[in-house]
Amino acid sequence: MKGKVTSVLLLLLGGAVPTLWLVLFQQSGDDVRERKHLERLVRSLHLAQRKTDNITSQQETEDDRIVKLKFPWLPKKNTLPNFFHRTKHDRSDGFQDNEYVTGSLVFGDNPRAADVPLMECVRRISVTNYLSTSPIMSSGNRLAWESADDKMKKFRNKIKIHRGSYSFGVCESLNVSCSYVMMFRNPLEQALSNYQYCKYELTDELCQGVNANKVTLRQWILFHGSELFKQLIFSPHFCTDSVNVSVTVPDEVWFGNKHDSPCWLKQKVLMEKFSKIDIIHATSYIVRHLEQWFGVVGLYDQMADSLKMFQTVYKLPFTKCYETKKTRPDVADEDVTSENSATSVVQRKSEFFDENDLHYLRDDIYVKEALSADNMIYKEAARLFNIQKQLYTNKLRAL
């Protein structure tokens, strides 16, 4: 019976049988070729990823080697990692949430990044909550901190809050849990803020050495370079009295005593002795360790959300600092919106290159080079902040 049915089908199909088998065979061949193509594509992507991983691994190995050889003080061992990012590791790193609350807090404010009202608010928080606070970490206070005797070393473990431009690294001198927080700001905007600030606050050590009233913003940036990078790679040995530097700066733009250079200038001169490759490796190392170094990352242009996260981690009323900032705008922000600002409409319409105009400086290759380290660090800080903010928002939704 089966043979008869087959014979009938063959008769009905007639000459279509060879054509049908040819189509089926061709479709089967296409599937095989497509599968092989996909397999080759997957292998290619896999090899490319392995190559990328190998290059990254080699770069990180070289970063570590250069840092160990030329910047041995840079690695940090006594720091609590990013509070929010730890959720992806299921809190398996051995740290406890309450260590952020009970340990020391180092507010490494980048000069003018979080502005004076915010720093004053932090001071008031410490007073209101009966928290011991160290003097603002100027370079002099940092040197005194590092050279303290044994009795003072025991006492400084009891200090809850440290703050100031030269505070990064103090956790390494403590025998208690310690974490850093910082407000990061776009490097070019930060440079403008520092520049405007130093036109008025000439007594600040950041403003000594080069008079901001005698140079353009472009000259200021090219001379100062990446301030954030210098802050994060700072070591007290840069600023000891034994360090003598020779700086070629015209007398007409110099401010202060040329025989007593400010700490930032000593550091700048000493850092210039390292090669550009060394600086690139050090910058890459810093970028790679921001997540492990900072308990919370803040962004200046997202102040409200940043302070909410600070408050969540440290259980202190940081959100009040945002209210303070809104009622007391900082000097630099006022200047930027004034008729004489570096970004005024009149200046932007000028037919001549204006070395005070951010719109021109954003595309200046020399300015980009001077701020390249800070731009790399800021980019990573912004990336970490966005992840941190999402994790924080998810946590709120889960409540």
Phi, psi of 171 (to 5 degrees): -60, -30
Decide if 67 contacts 75 (C-beta within 8 A). yes
pLDDT tens, 144-161?
Answer: 888 877 777 778 888 999
Sequence ranges of the domains in the chain: 64-398
pLDDT tens, 216-247?
Answer: 999 999 999 999 999 999 998 888 877 666 66
Q: Which fold has domain 64-398?
A: Rossmann fold (3.40.50)
Give the three-state DSSP class for 106.
strand
Integer Cα distance of 183 and 176 in angstroms: 23
pLDDT tens, 350-384?
Answer: 445 678 888 889 989 999 999 999 999 999 999 99
Instruction: Give this prediction's pTM.
Output: 0.78
Integer Cα distance of 157 and 178 in angstroms: 10
H or E segment and range at residue 16: helix 16-70
